[in-house]
Amino acid sequence: MRVLIADNDLESVEKTKECLSKNKVEVVVSAVYDGDNLMDLLRSDTKNLPQLMLVNTSIPVEGGLKALEEIKKDDLFRKIPIIIISTSPTPGDVEKAYDLGASCFVIKPAGTEEWCEKIEKIGRFWTDFVRVPQ
């Protein structure tokens, strides 16, 4: 499965990659650190689009919710499942994310061990139980 992580916290990206790799299924992970790079990466290789995206609400330039909106408006990208992640959502973020087409909204715990447990479960769910566009 091809997973794209959009998060401005390099340490968090590395930990998320590590946790995803604990699954028995091969996961190819790419990462970007802001909204502009996210859109550039999607447009640069439309034959190998991610099959799942993890997007932090606080990525710089566009922000995660703005990036979500832009992705879901584009027919080429709109079928990609997107999980919105936030450590501290502002009121209305969860509803707005779903209104814009998020597949789910995950609250990121402060502890890395808790986060790893969540990511492992998310990874297993998306690789073992769900069919995603190829």
Domains in the chain (CATH in brackets) are 2-129 (3.40.50.2300)
- Nearest-angstrom CA–CA distance, 113 and 91: 26
pLDDT at 24: 61
- Nearest-angstrom CA–CA distance, 63 and 36: 9
- Tens of pLDDT, residue by residue over 96-106, are 999 999 999 99
pLDDT of residue 25 exceeding 60, the answer is no
Start-to-end C-alpha separation, the chain: 9
pLDDT of residue 120 exceeding 70, the answer is yes
Token reading at 130: 């769900």
pTM for the full predicted model = 0.92
pLDDT at 42: 92
DSSP code of residue 51? S
Q: Are 29 and 119 contacting, i.e. CB atoms less than 8 angstroms apart? A: no
